[in-house]
């Protein structure tokens, strides 16, 4: 049996490397949106099909390192400090809404729903 910290660490290493690749391809705030939404879709699907060691490595490790909600918080805080409250709310609320939709989409795909037909 592989120790849980090792599973999370290896998953996190791979997730961080994948995030680095995405950040190189999609710069700025758009990159934050891409990784957070894609990671939310993945985590939604994993919540249905993965448990135990796989859940730790991919859910906690990979998705935890791949997504970047701390970067979201920094962008929102910077906008608030500049007095751009509406822009902060739009950005933060928009990513949150997209991430929640992503989780639902990932779960739907994993459960075998006709996601494309439903859209």
Contact 39, 66 (CB under 8 A): yes
Give the integer Cα–Cα distance in Å for 76 and 94. 11
Contact 77, 15 (CB under 8 A): no
Task: For residue 35, count other CB atoms closer than 10 A to its CB.
Answer: 24
For the purposes of burial, counting CB atoms within 10 Å of the CB of 48, is it exposed (0-12), middle (13-18) or buried (19 or more)?
Answer: middle
Contact 19, 68 (CB under 8 A): yes
For residue range 35-75, list pLDDT tens digits in order: 999 999 999 999 999 989 999 999 999 999 999 888 899 99
Contact 14, 67 (CB under 8 A): no
Per-residue buried b or exposed e for 19-31, using 16+ beta carbons within 10 Å of the residue's own CB = beebbeeeeeeeb
Q: Given this model, what pLDDT does residue 118 score?
A: 64
Residue numbers of the domain that contains 10:
4-118
Number of domains in the chain: 1
For residue range 70-102, list pLDDT tens digits in order: 889 999 999 999 999 999 999 999 999 999 999
Give the integer Cα–Cα distance in Å for 91 and 33. 9
């Amino acid at each position: 049996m592989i120790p849980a910290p090792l599973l999370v660490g290896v998953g996190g290493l791979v997730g961080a490397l994948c995030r680095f690749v995405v950040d190189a391809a999609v710069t700025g705030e758009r990159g934050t949106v891409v990784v957070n939404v894609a990671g939310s879709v993945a985590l939604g699907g994993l919540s249905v099909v993965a448990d135990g060691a796989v859940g730790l490595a991919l859910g906690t490790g990979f998705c935890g390192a791949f997504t970047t909600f701390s970067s979201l918080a920094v962008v929102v805080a910077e906008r608030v400090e500049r007095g751009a409250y509406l822009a902060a709310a739009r950005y933060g609320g928009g990513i949150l809404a997209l991430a929640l939709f992503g989780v639902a989409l990932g779960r739907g795909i994993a459960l075998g729903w006709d996601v494309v037909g439903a859209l």
